[in-house]
Structure 1
């Protein structure tokens, strides 16, 4: 018998429009094994951006539902990388992606990726609620690619009309060292969450 992966997520009142997390963990194949532990250790009211592009549709939906349950148990916001319509159908609190993909569709929380002033303008036109500006620091995902650095990040963030999240090579140490209160990471949050956040704050 074929296994059914698409168990519906119950409709619920999303917490994100009111809380706007400061700390986000971004999922992919590299940090998948540590996500349950990381979600349990993040400060209550943090956020999960679910990507998992490496999985085919059925297993991807199943993994989303597993992680979404854990995230909500700890009071976290759950955002899906996809389209606004998919986010609504999956029961996510919001959607993540480039402005072009998020410009249309139902009214859900929109987290838009931004790499330049031009893309920031596109994000505003796409009704972004939050922008993730990257890469702030060099990343393992794109070795050798130029990074913005903290100064250029701040200049872009100052032009944003919505909360701006620092993404790209971010770790707790860098966030504290450069005074970046709103930040997101892939491996920087999943590798040692017990050290980063020993108790919920």
Structure 2
């Protein structure tokens, strides 16, 4: 429990949050079939105001699980974003979507069609971060990570430079935990994101 709350409290201290035009959660928890096999249990422990990003990767029970997550997040004052699947997000009344980098070009249209949604997109490069029209980009990899898709870590200095150059609200993902999160307080981020730390 302490990891959830400490990360969320650290994220709320990020100075860039004071300049937000749209309310964005301070903490994003990304699900993963292998590393978070029970996303409902994770959602039941997240602090109020955080968001869970449900990535179903085509699971046959995706809609049933998304509906369970929607019930938990509504009851606990959390946000629910659906990974990539805008149709599912609409059907279950989610709070928005998270787009992989290859689909980030859809962000502007999704925001126009769903003005209340939070739309985030992955950005593994500065070019992708600059091109995105999402409400916020998720930059990775911040620190060394055990994710099978993780590339070289940016570290706090290069991450901060990327945030400044991107010129848009950004989250840090990859190897973020309680200890490392403190090193990102001056990076210009609006929030923190994690998978295994949560």
> Normalized against structure 1, the TM-score is what?
0.73
Gaps (5+ residues) in structure 2?
Answer: 1-20
Equivalenced residue count is 167
Cα gap change, 1:188/1:117 in structure 2, threshold over 3 Å: closer, same or farther?
same
Specify the SS of the correspondent of 2:62.
Answer: helix
Task: Give the Cα separation in 1 of the matches to 2:195 and 2:65.
Answer: 17
Deviations 1:86-121 (A, max 9, x none): 433332211111354243343242101011111112
Gaps (5+ residues) in structure 1?
Answer: 1-16, 190-201
Tell me, yes or no, if the aligned pair for 2:97 and 2:120 is still in contact at 8 Å.
yes
Cα gap change, 1:173/1:157 in structure 2, threshold over 3 Å: closer, same or farther?
same
Tell me, yes or no, if the aligned pair for 1:130 and 1:165 is still in contact at 8 Å.
yes
Task: Give the Cα separation in 2 of the matches to 1:86 and 1:64.
Answer: 8
Specify the SS of the correspondent of 2:91.
Answer: helix
**Residue 112, structure 1, aligned to residue 114, structure 2:** no
- Flag as ranges the 4+ runs of structure 1 deviating above 6 A: none
Task: Give the Cα separation in 1 of the matches to 2:119 and 2:172.
Answer: 16
Deviations 1:75-95 (A, max 9, x none): 111101124444333322111
> Normalized against structure 2, the TM-score is what?
0.74
Shift of 1:37: 3.6
Counterpart residue number, 1:130: 136
Tell me, yes or no, if the aligned pair for 2:142 and 2:156 is still in contact at 8 Å.
yes
Shift of 1:47: 0.5
Shift of 1:68: 1.7
Counterpart residue number, 1:170: 176
Deviations 1:40-75 (A, max 9, x none): 33221111101032622xx01111111121112111
When Rg is computed on C-alpha atoms for both structures, the one with the higher figure is: 1
- From 185, 189, 197, the equivalent of 2:194 is 185
Counterpart residue number, 1:72: 74
Task: Report the aligned-residue RMSD.
Answer: 2.3
